[in-house]
Chains A and B, each alone.
Chain A
Amino acid sequence: MFQYILKRVLIFLPTLLIISLLTFAISVFAPGDPIKEMLTSQTGDGQSANIMASEKAYQEKRQEFNLDLPIFYFSFSNQASSDTLHRIVKKPHKTNLERLIYQYGNWPEVENYYWSMRDYEQAVFNVEKDSTNAAQLIKLKDGVSELLTSYKEDKIDNKIEEIVELSTQSASLTALNSTTLKMKASYENMKAKESSWKNFIPAFHFYGTDNQYHKWFFGDKPLFGNGDGKWSSKGFVRGDFGRSYKTQRPVSSELTDAVKVTSIISLLSIFLTYLVAIPLGVFSAVKRNTVFDQISTTTLFILYSLPSFWLAIMAIVFLCGGDYLDIFPPAYKPDLSGGFFSDLKSQAYYLILPLAMWTYGSLAYLSRQMRGGVISVFSQDYIRTARSKGLSENSVIWKHTLRNSLLPIITLFASVFPAAISGSIILEMIFSIPGMGKLALEALVGRNYPIVYAVVMCSSILTLIGYLVADILYAIVDPRISYK
C-alpha cells in the first residue's frame, strides 16, 4: 500500500510539470500587455511626459518581472526568426517585427530598419516645437508610431513618402533629413536583401537556464544562504509564488486572504451536504416507491437540474430587496474591521444565501447517487441472507448496506478537495464574495499571470491529491480492492 502511494506521488511530478507548461503557454500566447496595464494603473494617467522616460520605466518593470528573457530553455523556430527578439521591449513592436521577419526573412536588416525608426522617433522628439512646425511635428510623431506597427509594403511606402514630404514643409525640420534618409535606406535595404526562403528551414536555439519559465518555476536564488542581492525569487517549487502584477503584493498573501473566505463556505457546504444527503438517500431507498420517495426523487431531480447561477439571480431579484421581499442581503459586505471571525452573527447573515446556493446542487446529486447505490445493494444476495438470519432492519441498513454503497460517495469526495479551494467562480461573482473564484477570474481577465499560475497549480495539486485520497479510501472501504 505504501509503495502504491509512493508510486502515485511520484507520478504527480511529471503531471504537474506538464500543467505548469500549459499554464505558462497560455500566458505567453495571450494578447495584451501586463506591464502596460501595471504602469498606467500606477501612474493614474496614461499620459507620459517623455517617451524615453516612460520607456525606461517600462524596461525596468520588464526586467523586474523577468519579461525580457527568452521564454523557455530552447526554442524551435525557423532560420529567419531571431533568438534575440525577446529583448525588444514593446509588445506591439515585437509582433510587428515578427511579421516583418516572416515577410522578408532577414533579421539583421529588419533589426536595422527597426532601430532606424526608433532613432527617427527620438530625433523628432528632440526637435524644438515652434509655430512653424507644430502641426507637422504631431503628424510626424503619429506617422512614426504607425510605421512601427505596420508591415504591409504599400502602407509603409505611403507612410515614408508622407514623412519625407512633411519634413520638407518647415525649415526647422531639415535637421531630421539625415535620419529620414537613413530610415528610408534601411527600409530599401531590408526589401532588397529579402530571404524569405529562410522561413522554411527549422532552427533550434538553446538558452540554458536563463529564461522566464525557469525563473518562475525553479527560481534563481541559491539553495542555501541568500547569495548576492540580484536573485529575484525562490521559485514556485520552493513556495515563492511571485508578486501580483496589479497590487504588487506577494501572491501567497493574496491567496491566503481569498482561501480563508472560500474554504469557510466550501467546508460548511460539504459538511451540510454529507450530513443531509446520506440519510436522505438511504431513507429514499429504504422507503422505495412510497409517496415520500416519489416526492423526494422528483424534488431532488429538479434541484439537480436547476442552474445554480439562475437560482442565485432569482433569489437576488425576489428575496433581496428591490420590489419584493427583503430577507437576505444581496452582496457580501460584512464589517470585517475586527478580524475575520469577529462578528459571527452578521457573517452568518451574509453567508446563508451563498451557502444555500453552493449546497443544493451537490446535495441533490449525492442523495441520488446514495439512493441508487443502496437500491443496487439491496437486491444482492447477502442482504437477503442478513435479513433471513434475523438481523434488525436498522442493522442491515447501517452495518451492511451502507459500507458497500460508499463507492460513489468517495468518488464525489475526491472532487470536493479542489472545489473547496477553487470555489465557484460564478457564485462568487454574483454575491461579490472575495474568494478564490473571484480572485482567479479577475486575474485571468486582467492578465495578472502570477496569480493565475498559482491558482491553477494549486487546484491541480489538490485535484491530484484528492484522487489519491479517493483511491486510498476505496482500498480501505472495500477489502476486495488492494494495491499489492
Chain B
Amino acid sequence: MSNDKNREQINELDQSFWSNVKRQFKKNKRAVFALYCILFLIFIAVFADFIANEKPIVAKYKGKTYFPIVKQYAVDFGIGKWPKDLQNVKWSDLEYDFVLFPPVPYMSQNLDYKNSQYKSPFDDQILKSKRWRHWVGTDKLGRDVLAGMVHGTRIALSVGVISMSISAFLGILFGALAGYFGDNRLRMSRIRLWLNVLFFFIALFYAFGVRSYILSDALGVSIISLLGQLLLSFLIFFAVMTVANLLVIPLKKIPFLGKRVDVPVDLSISRLIEVIISIPRLFLIIAIVAVAKPSLVLVMVIIGFTSWTGIARLIRAELLKVRNLEYVEAAHALGFNDLRTLLKHAIPNALSPVFIAIAFGIASAILIEAGLSFLGIGVPADVVTWGSMLNLVQDYPNAWWLATFPGFAIFITVTMFNLIGEGLTDALDPRLRQ
C-alpha cells in the first residue's frame, strides 16, 4: 500500500516540463472545454463533404451501388471518372433503389431556385419533404446557409492553421538566426560572404526569373505540375548556391578575401522586421491580395508571410537570453555544431511563448480571412465562407439569419482559440506553478 503511494508521489514529482504544463492546462476547465470545441470544429472541417453535400453518401442506382462522395475525391485527384449517366445530373431528383443523403443535403454553392430570395428559417419553404428543409434559411440565390457554415468551417480552419504554420516556420527561422547569432557570432571569410550575397541574386535569376513563364504556365495546368516546377526551381537555386560555396574554397587563400568578418545577422533581420511591422498589416494583405488573382491559397500564404514578425521577436528575445546559458556552452564544448545546438537544444526551450502566439495567431488569421471575404477581396466569388455570407446581409438587412449564424460561428471559433491561448499562458507561467 504505502509502496504504491510512494511511487505515485515520486511519479508526480519528477515529471518533465511538458507534462507539468499539460496538467496545469487540464486544471483550467474553460481551456479544456475550448479544446474539445476546437476538436469538434476540426471534425466538422475534415468531414465537411460528408456532412453537407448534394451527393448522397451511398446510393443504389439502377442496380449498382455507388459511394458518390468518395468517388468525387477520386475524380478530383484524377484517378477516377464518372460514368456517363451520372455526369451533370441533379442528384436530388434521381430515382434511387436506396439512398442515404448527408445530414444537410445541399452543397454550399447549390442554388435552390424554389427557395431563393432570402427564405428565413421560420418561413414556409417550398420543398419536396421535411428532409430537404433549409434549417437555417437561404440567401438571395437560394444557397443553403447551413451548408455554407459547414464548408466555411473547413475554409476558416485551414486558413488559420496553414497561415500560422507558415508564420511559425518563418518566425522561428528568422528569430532563431537573429537571436542565436546576433551581430558577432557568425564569422565567415569575406569572400564567402560576398559570394553568397552575389550568388543569391544570380540563383534567384536562374531559378525563378528565367523560369517565371514556365512557373506561371504550370500554375494554370494543375497544382501537381506547379509543385514539380517549384521543386526544380529550388534545386537550381541550391545548385547555384553550392557552386558559390565551392568557389570559396580556392579563393579563400588570398589574404584580403580570406579574412574572417562578422556577419550582421541580427541587424539585417531586425531591420526587415521593422519594415514589415511599419506597414499596417491589413493594408499590406489587401494590397497584395487585391492586385492578384483571387485564390484561397494566396490568401493563406500572404497572411502567413505578414504575420511572422511577432513570433520572430519572441524567439529572438528568448534566444538572446538563452545563448549565454551553460547548457549552450556545454554543447559547444562537446563539439556540437551550431545547427545541432539550435535545433535540439536552444529552440525547443524557447518554444513556450511561441505556442501562445500561435493560438492567438490562428484566431486573428481567421478574423482577417473573414474580413477579407467580407470585403469581397481575395476569395473567389463562388466560394462561400463565413465572411462572404455576412457580406450578403448588407444588401438585405432583414435577413437576420445570414448575419447571426455565420457571425456566431466566427465568434465561437475565435473565442475558443483565445481561450486555449489564455489556458496556455496560465499553464506556462512559472509563477503560478503549484
Given A322-B398, A445-B290, A317 and B410 touching (CB < 8 A)?
Answer: no
B350-386, CB < 8 A from A: 363, 367, 370-371, 374-375, 377
Residues in chain B near residue A200, CB distance under 8 A: 206, 210
Residues in chain A near residue B394, CB distance under 8 A: 313, 316, 430
Given A441-B375, A444-B290, A463-B278, A202 and B205 touching (CB < 8 A)?
Answer: yes
Decide if B83 is an interface residue (CB 8 Å cutoff). no
CB distance from A402 to the nearest CB of B (A): 21
Choose the segment among B72-80, B157-165, B399-407 that binds chain A (4+ C-beta atoms closer than 8 Å): B399-407
Residues in chain A near residue B70, CB distance under 8 A: none
Choose among A18, A302, A317, A444 the residue that contacts B400 (Cβ–Cβ < 8 A).
Answer: A317
Decide if A195 is an interface residue (CB 8 Å cutoff). no
Q: Tell whether, in the assembled complex, residue B400 and residue A309 are in contact, meaning their CB atoms are under 8 Å apart.
A: no
Q: Tell whether, in the assembled complex, residue A306 and residue B280 are in contact, meaning their CB atoms are under 8 Å apart.
A: no
Residues in chain A near residue B286, CB distance under 8 A: 425, 441, 444
- Closest A residue to B291 using CB positions: A30
Q: Tell whether, in the assembled complex, residue B374 and residue A426 are in contact, meaning their CB atoms are under 8 Å apart.
A: yes
Q: Tell whether, in the assembled complex, residue A302 and residue B415 are in contact, meaning their CB atoms are under 8 Å apart.
A: yes
Given A32-B291, A322-B397, A323-B398, A307 and B280 touching (CB < 8 A)?
Answer: no
A284-323, CB < 8 A from B: 301-302, 304-307, 309-310, 313-314, 316-318, 320-323
CA of A199 to CA of B211, assembled, Å: 10
Q: Tell whether, in the assembled complex, residue A22 and residue B283 are in contact, meaning their CB atoms are under 8 Å apart.
A: no
Decide if A341 is an interface residue (CB 8 Å cutoff). no
Against B, the Cβ 8 Å flags (1 = close, 0 = not) of A449-463 are 000100110011001
Decide if B100 is an interface residue (CB 8 Å cutoff). no
Choose among B209, B278, B292 the residue that contacts A15 (Cβ–Cβ < 8 A).
Answer: B278
- Closest B residue to A323 using CB positions: B398
Choose among B210, B271, B274, B375 the residue that contacts A426 (Cβ–Cβ < 8 A).
Answer: B375
B120-178, CB < 8 A from A: none
Decide if A211 is an interface residue (CB 8 Å cutoff). no
Decide if B411 is an interface residue (CB 8 Å cutoff). yes
CA of A307 to CA of B279, assembled, Å: 22
A222-239, CB < 8 A from B: none
Residues in chain A near residue B414, CB distance under 8 A: 305, 307
Residues in chain B near residue A318, CB distance under 8 A: 400
Choose among B287, B363, B415 the residue that contacts A444 (Cβ–Cβ < 8 A).
Answer: B287
Q: Tell whether, in the assembled complex, residue B418 and residue A22 are in contact, meaning their CB atoms are under 8 Å apart.
A: no
Q: Tell whether, in the assembled complex, residue A310 and residue B371 are in contact, meaning their CB atoms are under 8 Å apart.
A: no
Decide if B235 is an interface residue (CB 8 Å cutoff). no
Give the most central of B363, B397, B418: most A CB within 10 Å. Answer: B397
Q: Tell whether, in the assembled complex, residue B415 and residue A15 are in contact, meaning their CB atoms are under 8 Å apart.
A: no
Residues in chain A near residue B415, CB distance under 8 A: 301-302, 305
Q: Tell whether, in the assembled complex, residue B397 and residue A445 are in contact, meaning their CB atoms are under 8 Å apart.
A: no
CB distance from B113 to the nearest CB of A (A): 25
Q: Tell whether, in the assembled complex, residue A460 and residue B393 are in contact, meaning their CB atoms are under 8 Å apart.
A: no
CB distance from A176 to the nearest CB of B (A): 33
CA of A99 to CA of B213, assembled, Å: 8
CA of A240 to CA of B292, assembled, Å: 29
Q: Tell whether, in the assembled complex, residue B202 and residue A15 are in contact, meaning their CB atoms are under 8 Å apart.
A: no
Given A14-B271, A313-B390, A444-B286, A304 and B291 touching (CB < 8 A)?
Answer: no
CA of A429 to CA of B205, assembled, Å: 41
Decide if B251 is an interface residue (CB 8 Å cutoff). no
Against A, the Cβ 8 Å flags (1 = close, 0 = not) of B271-295 are 1001101111011001110111100
CB distance from B424 to the nearest CB of A (A): 15
Q: Tell whether, in the assembled complex, residue A425 and residue B397 are in contact, meaning their CB atoms are under 8 Å apart.
A: no
Choose among A302, A314, A440, A459 the residue that contacts B407 (Cβ–Cβ < 8 A).
Answer: A314
Q: Tell whether, in the assembled complex, residue B407 and residue A310 are in contact, meaning their CB atoms are under 8 Å apart.
A: yes
CA of A22 to CA of B278, assembled, Å: 12
CA of A199 to CA of B41, assembled, Å: 50
Residues in chain A near residue B410, CB distance under 8 A: 307, 310
Q: Tell whether, in the assembled complex, residue A313 and residue B393 are in contact, meaning their CB atoms are under 8 Å apart.
A: yes
Decide if A245 is an interface residue (CB 8 Å cutoff). no
Given A15-B275, A463-B277, A102 and B213 touching (CB < 8 A)?
Answer: yes
Residues in chain B near residue A23, CB distance under 8 A: 279, 287
CB distance from A77 to the nearest CB of B (A): 8
A1-41, CB < 8 A from B: 14-15, 18-19, 22-23, 26-27, 29-32
CA of A317 to CA of B406, assembled, Å: 14
CB distance from B187 to the nearest CB of A (A): 25
9 A-B residue pairings within 8 Å (CB atoms): A22-B275, A23-B279, A31-B293, A102-B213, A305-B363, A456-B280, A463-B277, A463-B278, A464-B278
A residues within 8 Å of B by Cβ?
14-15, 18-19, 22-23, 26-27, 29-32, 76-78, 99, 102, 199-200, 202, 301-302, 304-307, 309-310, 313-314, 316-318, 320-324, 330, 418, 422, 425-426, 429-430, 440-441, 444-445, 447, 452, 455-456, 459-460, 463-464
Given contacts A18-B275, A32-B291, A102-B213, 12 further A-B contacts (CB under 8 A): A22-B275, A301-B418, A307-B370, A307-B410, A310-B410, A314-B403, A418-B280, A425-B282, A426-B375, A459-B279, A459-B283, A460-B280
> Sorted from nearest, which 10 A-B pairs have the closest CB atoms?
A30-B291, A310-B407, A305-B415, A460-B278, A322-B397, A463-B278, A322-B398, A444-B290, A317-B397, A313-B403
